[in-house]
Structure 1
Amino acid sequence: MVHMLASGVFISGVLKDMVCIPRPLSPPLVRITMSKSAALEYGFPSTHSTNAVSVATYALYYLHTTDCGLSSSVRFAAIGIGYAYAASIAIGRLYCGMHGFFDVLAGGALGALMALLQIVYGEMIDKWALADSILNPLIITAVLLLAVRLHPEPADNCPCFDDSVAFAGVLIGIEFGLWHYSKTAFSNDSPVPGTVPFDLRTLGWFRTTARIVVGIVIVFMWRATMKPLLLRCLPPLFRIIDHLGFILPRRYFMPANQYELIPPLRKDDNVIPSASDLPGFITSLRHPRRRAISIGPQSEADAHEVIASREQRRGASMSQPILSPLRRRAYTESEAISAAVVRKPSFGHTSEGDQPKFTIDAIAAVHGTKRSGTAKTPISAGAPPTPPSSDASAASDSSKEEERLDREMFSQLEKPRVRYDVEVVTKLVIYAGQ
């Protein structure tokens, strides 16, 4: 099951960086998410849909084909839950504005393929990987490292690669961990080699809970120790390798020869909160954070999509019947306003319950509406549009205004943090070790 999920995340990340299709245009859509960094990634295919469909398909297959000792009513309820789970995730991604229909459809198809491969070949691959020789886990590791190296370069600074690297490390750690455990006297060979025996009546609740707590503590201690150690020790080694000419640089990752020390990373990269953060962490548990609403472009990919959409609408309008300048201006502005109903003008995140405000400039930046001047005048429902002084001057002014608004749009984007070349190896080691 873990192999299936990790492979789904890795392959969907490869496809995202390969085709570079942004998330749905915002506005008119409003994105609802719990993570501000999610909008920085590409949208095709949907990784959530991939994982949901793969899990549901795998579970439904065994509910239909095996005797799990469940009564007919319980089995029927479990099947219904499986279908509802997959459908709710897919529909939820559409509702939240994080994916379009084809993103979800492609993600679901990829998830079904992952489940099919796991059903048909999963047991055979497990037996091959857990053979007596350690050569087989080493071959799998070499293939995964090669896949990380060949991961396509995105057109924009997209963090999809980070997730792919993390789950490649998970797969490497699973292969070596299962291979080692299967050779001990604690494992069972049924139903597959490396099975962890578990009997609640034999262990009891205390030892069962203690195993979970100790395991979580070990994972956190490993991550809290290895991350700062690797970030300190790897840069000098990378500089030596780079001097020898063996470094293969990756776009958007700063090479070690351009920095001396890695500064403290942003808090979203810290695994364990500091002591000063603990009161706020406890408060957030009692008062769960509200959903973040992303309005407007959140990444370079979003901004380029906005400009491309504007040019596409402009080309389409050129093929429409000729309107007078006054009527054309009234039409484009009313179209922009109707598409931006209940939208916030500035690009960024806001919380639920904020009162929306409108400005012509904000809507023009997204929808390509032409307006001279730089003042951000609130929209008035009954205010008639002002006709341009002349077609030539209006075209020149609107072109300059569009350039200014485009620069403003790019300047307001949330910049991805600086990523360092040693973080790739650091992620592989940390996720493999835990």
Structure 2
Amino acid sequence: MGKSKIDQPDAGLKSLNHYSRQLPLWRYWPRQKLIPLIRYETPYLAWVQEKVRTPALDSYFAFTANLGTHTFFMVFLPFLFWCGSPSIGRGLVHILASGVFWSGFLKDLLCLPRPLSPPLQRITMSGSAALEYGFPSTHSTNAVSVAVYALGLLSSPDSTLSAQVTLVLQAVTYIYVVSIVVGRLYCGMHGMLDCIVGCVMGAAIGLVQFHYGPVFEDYLLSTSLMGISLLAILIIGLVRIHPEPADDCPCFDDSVAFAGVMLGVDVSSWHFADVWTGYPPGSIPYDLDKVGWIKTGLRLVVGVACIFAWRTVMKPALLRILPPIFRTLEKLGLLLPRRFFTTASEYTTVPTNLKDHDVIPNFSDFSNIITTMRHPRRRAVSIGPQSEADAYETLAYREKRRRESQSGNRASPVIEGQVQVNGSPLPSRKTTRLDEYEDMMGRGSPRSTAVDVNSDIQTIPFPSLDADAGRRDEKEVFSQIKKPRVRYDVEVVTKLVVYAGIPWVVIEVAPLLFDRIGLGNR
């Protein structure tokens, strides 16, 4: 069955058939089926956001969103390994790696946008999150998976905590997960569909880890070289089959980083399993009574310094070493280039000052992180498209509304003063606030900069239906989007090696160093 005239884009309007051209039918079809749900819920989300927003809640949800990022977990996960809980540390790595990878996999597979802004206002302390697709919510996946796993451990018969401590930790866990998930809706970063699917994924991952994690751990610590090699090949293979997105989305970078972390944790734990005699396999000696609080603090400082030293040295080294190797492999036809990554034959050197979407921050970023933590009221409130996906959805919805108005298929409310394409006024009726929110969708002046919380959302009229106006539309919207930096093919392998090396430093290097410099159990 052919498309109706109303569904066919004008010649020259590349944005309107962008996803149909970029995606195969089996990916494009579910995307088109889910888009109406995202558009339907947007006015309701905006209505709720306006009704409940306060400066205090803005600060609270913007701040707690940081506690649901994989960056937060990656900064603190090494402490579990160094402070006597390596098994829980491995479990959390498996949970987070699975959540980040599979949520990123779905994001790049379906390329679904976040709910439109306006009418929503996006409240965040980090601008990088808005550059990703919206479905599903990785924050929700991370938070729910960790919460389910933590609640399982707290209710386990093996738990040695008192009833009072268990109750407090359970209450904190519930507050944590509700704050993260509700915060994604409150902050205008996700819709209900994004969060529900993210929560379901997180619950499944957490339950699998709780019930089958001990079995996998026994296998990991006792398997042969062949077994650990097959596991490493499986992880690298999953990275290779990660879907190509239609836009320059950083989801793949996070997936690669956490695939590297999982690879490093599993291989290092297997290799390190029998190093310490007299301790359970895979454990790192730690006894608070012997080490004491001061030495424990020094262990954390020295360990973190080792992680940053590894990253500081290895990343620039690999970016210098790999390009000639990649050029040779490219000539032999052995490379499978990814979209949006420049191949080695097209550049001579890789800049050393690349700004990354990194899981582990740079030393130079810590001053900003500390400032943000000390001043949680510092948040950006952004209105308008922030990413390529936002821009394409804004244009698509704008064109959809224009065509519906042209065909008369939509009995939509009309704002006072709105006119038809031929210049005659449209008959008006009383509008509700939801109608006004829906009318803002696809109409708002795109602005990616921080704005005053109480500022009004400015709107612009829909241009006429001709192709020239549509092209002016495209130019206007995309001129407001910050272009992604050039990405180099060697960065994928660099990220994989660097992040696989971090667990090696945490599990193998740092504990031996602690023992040598007097921070061990002796």
TM-score scaled by structure 1? 0.83
Judging changes above 3 Å, is the alpha-carbon distance between structure 1 residues 10 and 284 closer, same or farther for their aligned structure 2 residues?
closer
Q: How many residues align?
A: 396
Q: Write the letter of the residue equivalent to 1:308.
A: A
Cα distance in 2 for partners of 1:109, 1:263 equals 41
| Among candidates 250, 261, 273, match of residue 349 of structure 2 | 261
| Among candidates 405, 425, 449, match of residue 349 of structure 1 | 449
Stretch of structure 1 that moved more, 59-68 or 102-111: 59-68
CA contact (8 A) 1:32 1:294 kept: yes
Q: CA RMSD in A?
A: 3.0
Matched, 1:319 2:409: yes
Match of 1:203 in 2: 291
CA contact (8 A) 1:186 1:196 kept: no
Q: Secondary structure at the match of 1:36?
A: coil
Judging changes above 3 Å, is the alpha-carbon distance between structure 1 residues 286 and 85 closer, same or farther for their aligned structure 2 residues?
closer
Cα distance in 2 for partners of 1:260, 1:345 equals 40
CA contact (8 A) 2:253 2:357 kept: no
Q: Secondary structure at the match of 1:348?
A: strand
Cα distance in 1 for partners of 2:159, 2:318 equals 46
| Among candidates 207, 221, 224, match of residue 116 of structure 1 | 207
Matched, 1:240 2:332: no
Matched, 1:303 2:391: yes
Stretch of structure 1 that moved more, 401-410 or 295-304: 401-410
Cα distance in 2 for partners of 1:272, 1:95 equals 30
Cα distance in 2 for partners of 1:118, 1:40 equals 30
Judging changes above 3 Å, is the alpha-carbon distance between structure 1 residues 333 and 77 closer, same or farther for their aligned structure 2 residues?
closer
CA-CA distance at 1:144 after TM superposition? 0.8
Match of 2:43 in 1: none
Between the two proteins, what is the percent identity of the paired residues? Answer: 48
CA contact (8 A) 1:60 1:82 kept: yes
Cα distance in 2 for partners of 1:295, 1:306 equals 12
Question: Highest CA radius of gyration, 1 or 2?
Answer: 1
| Among candidates 162, 165, 172, match of residue 263 of structure 2 | 172
CA-CA distance at 1:105 after TM superposition? 0.4
CA-CA distance at 1:74 after TM superposition? 3.1
- Name structure 1 gaps, 5 residues minimum: 372-393
| Among candidates 398, 402, 407, match of residue 475 of structure 2 | 407
Match of 1:378 in 2: none
| Among candidates 432, 446, 462, match of residue 370 of structure 1 | 462
Judging changes above 3 Å, is the alpha-carbon distance between structure 1 residues 29 and 258 closer, same or farther for their aligned structure 2 residues?
same
TM-score scaled by structure 2? 0.69
Stretch of structure 1 that moved more, 224-233 or 62-71: 62-71
Structural mapping, 1:9-20, within 5 Å: 9-20=100-111
Structural mapping, 1:62-81, within 5 Å: 62-81=153-172
Judging changes above 3 Å, is the alpha-carbon distance between structure 1 residues 82 and 333 closer, same or farther for their aligned structure 2 residues?
closer
Match of 1:382 in 2: none
Summarize deviations over 1:105-137 as a string: whole Å, max 9, x none. Answer: 000000011112112221111111211522222
Cα distance in 2 for partners of 1:74, 1:175 equals 31
CA-CA distance at 1:185 after TM superposition? 1.8
CA contact (8 A) 2:381 2:450 kept: yes
Match of 1:249 in 2: 337
> Larger relative contact order (C-alpha < 8 A, sep ≥ 6)?
2
CA-CA distance at 1:205 after TM superposition? 1.7
Cα distance in 1 for partners of 2:146, 2:437 equals 42
Match of 1:379 in 2: none
CA contact (8 A) 2:403 2:465 kept: no
Judging changes above 3 Å, is the alpha-carbon distance between structure 1 residues 288 and 14 closer, same or farther for their aligned structure 2 residues?
same
CA-CA distance at 1:404 after TM superposition? 1.1
Stretch of structure 1 that moved more, 99-108 or 295-304: 295-304
CA-CA distance at 1:238 after TM superposition? 0.2
Structural mapping, 1:1-400, within 5 Å: 1-131=92-222, 133-185=224-276, 188-189=279-280, 193-268=281-356, 272-273=362-363, 290-317=378-405, 318-320=408-410, 325=420, 326-328=424-426, 340=440, 345-352=445-452, 355-356=455-456, 358=458, 363-364=459-460, 369-370=461-462, 396=466, 400=468
CA contact (8 A) 2:395 2:473 kept: no
Cα distance in 1 for partners of 2:146, 2:372 equals 30
Cα distance in 2 for partners of 1:288, 1:7 equals 30
CA contact (8 A) 1:165 1:427 kept: yes
Q: Write the letter of the residue equivalent to 1:215.
A: G
Q: Secondary structure at the match of 2:147?
A: helix
Judging changes above 3 Å, is the alpha-carbon distance between structure 1 residues 327 and 254 closer, same or farther for their aligned structure 2 residues?
same
Cα distance in 2 for partners of 1:337, 1:98 equals 16
Judging changes above 3 Å, is the alpha-carbon distance between structure 1 residues 83 and 319 closer, same or farther for their aligned structure 2 residues?
same
Summarize deviations over 1:168-191 as a string: whole Å, max 9, x none. Answer: 0001110121112212025732xx
CA-CA distance at 1:26 after TM superposition? 0.8
Q: Secondary structure at the match of 1:129?
A: helix
Q: Secondary structure at the match of 2:257?
A: helix
Q: Write the letter of the residue equivalent to 2:409.
A: S
Q: Secondary structure at the match of 2:155?
A: helix
Q: Secondary structure at the match of 1:130?
A: helix
Cα distance in 2 for partners of 1:321, 1:240 equals 61
Cα distance in 1 for partners of 2:369, 2:142 equals 28
- Name structure 2 gaps, 5 residues minimum: 1-91, 503-522
Match of 1:420 in 2: 488
Cα distance in 2 for partners of 1:10, 1:319 equals 42
Cα distance in 1 for partners of 2:259, 2:313 equals 21
Cα distance in 1 for partners of 2:363, 2:219 equals 41
CA-CA distance at 1:232 after TM superposition? 0.7
